[in-house]
């Protein structure tokens, strides 16, 4: 075991799968020589060569389009989109090609593509470096969408994603790249500062996609979260003394509806927490699933705490985040209903 932050855990996952399988290649803007803007791919080119870890032009559609061709011919490409905000030029290749080819070919052409991207706020990146577009990809049949919350999960989930024969969009929360931060209930220190992370096995392990984790047991209310918001939920519940069961979804597609259903039927209440904007966010889908599966067990309407329906603010980033004040009010509302 080693103590790793999320960046180091993701780098370890890359090294392990590239060592195990010569067909795994990684590509993207600055991922080769420089090792990625967040250093997730640092050292890969030196270890595996320029033919397996290489830089691309600033052309996201071309990056993913090349991956489609590579995957069709037996490679397992891992593409880095430098920020989730830059992924939109590649939407056509992701949706119309990568997500469709297995179906279009009646299963003859699998698409083992992993598209990694830092996402969400936490570094004062403003409107073009802080978006959370997971709901767009959750809507697309044929894609899987993964969002880890810990270094341990990040490594195991990335290995599973790369080994999967279907395309996976893998979002990495920037706010906890070097964390999670101490004192998460309050505004943390600089997002670039180093903090203790978690114990991560140095060798190979994979975490199955589509399996949630109950990270805090409770009896009064179920909180569904993923990524950074898992830590916000846990810290707020502990600070306020709320007997909340916090479920880390890990993957939103496929979603572990069985674990969700079991928890909500036990607690009778459900709160959904995500950083992305509220309208048509993935929380709406979760609320619908809970209502369909657990209607007769619910003691209160499903509550949502989300980002605001506004372009991401720069100077007001911490006001945009769903935080302890808003979450505390939601706990009060749902528990007193």
Would you call 231 a catalytic residue per the annotation?
no
* Cα end-to-end distance, the chain, whole Å: 45
Measured distance CA(6)–CA(154) in Å, rounded: 7
Q: Which long-range contacts (CB under 8 A, 24 or more apart) does 283-290 make?
A: 283/224, 285/135, 285/138, 286/224, 286/255, 286/260, 289/255, 289/257, 289/260, 290/224, 290/260, 290/261, 290/264
Burial 10-28 (b: 16+ CB within 10 A, else e): bbbbbebbbeeeebbbbbb
Question: Residue for token digits 């071309």?
Answer: 62
SS3 62: helix
Q: In what side-by-side order are the strands of the sheet with 53-55?
A: 53-55, 24-28, 76-80, 114-119, 168-173, 144-146, 251-253
- Tell me the helices (H) and strands (E) count for the chain, helix number first: 12, 14
* Residue 114: other Cβ atoms inside 10 A: 27
Catalytic residue among 129, 195, 231, 274: 129
CB 136 within 8 A of CB 253: no
CB 120 within 8 A of CB 275: yes
Q: Record the tokens describing residue 245, joined without a space.
A: 């069961």
Closest CA to 245 of 274, 268, 223, 272: 223
Whether the upstream peptide bond of residue 180 has omega within 30° of 0, thus cis, is yes
Q: Record the tokens describing residue 169, joined without a space.
A: 């969009």
User: What are the catalytic residues?
Assistant: 129
């Amino acid at each position: 075991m080693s103590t790793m932050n999320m960046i180091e855990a993701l780098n370890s996952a890359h090294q392990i799968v590239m060592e195990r399988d010569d067909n795994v290649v990684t590509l993207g803007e600055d991922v080769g020589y420089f090792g990625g803007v967040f250093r997730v791919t640092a050292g890969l080119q030196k270890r595996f060569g320029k033919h397996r870890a290489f830089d691309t032009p600033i052309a996201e559609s071309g990056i993913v389009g090349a991956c489609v061709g590579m995957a069709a011919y037996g490679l397992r490409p891992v593409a880095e989109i430098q920020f989730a905000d830059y992924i939109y030029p590649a939407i056509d290749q992701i949706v119309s090609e990568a997500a469709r080819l297995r179906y279009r070919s009646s299963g003859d052409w699998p698409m083992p593509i992993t598209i990694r991207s830092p996402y969400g706020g936490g570094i004062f990146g403003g409107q073009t470096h802080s978006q959370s577009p997971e709901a767009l990809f959750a809507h697309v049949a044929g894609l899987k969408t993964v969002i880890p919350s810990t270094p341990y999960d990040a490594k195991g989930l990335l290995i599973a994603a790369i080994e999967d024969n279907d395309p996976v969009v893998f979002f990495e929360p920037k706010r906890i790249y070097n964390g999670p931060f101490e004192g998460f209930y309050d505004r943390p220190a600089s997002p670039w500062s180093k903090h203790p992370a978690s114990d991560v096995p140095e060798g190979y392990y994979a975490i199955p996609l589509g399996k949630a984790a109950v990270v805090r047991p409770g009896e009064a209310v179920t909180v569904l979260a993923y990524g950074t918001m898992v830590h916000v939920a846990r810290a707020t519940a502990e600070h306020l003394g709320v007997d909340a069961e916090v479920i880390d979804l890990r993957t939103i597609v496929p979603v572990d509806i069985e674990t969700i259903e079991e928890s909500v039927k036990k607690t009778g209440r459900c709160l959904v927490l995500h950083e992305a904007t509220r309208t048509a966010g993935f929380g709406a889908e979760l609320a619908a699933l809970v209502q369909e599966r657990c209607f007769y067990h619910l003691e209160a309407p499903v509550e949502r705490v989300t980002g605001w329906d506004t372009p991401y603010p720069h100077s007001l980033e911490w006001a945009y985040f769903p935080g302890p004040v808003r979450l505390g009010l939601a706990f009060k509302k749902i528990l007193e209903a």
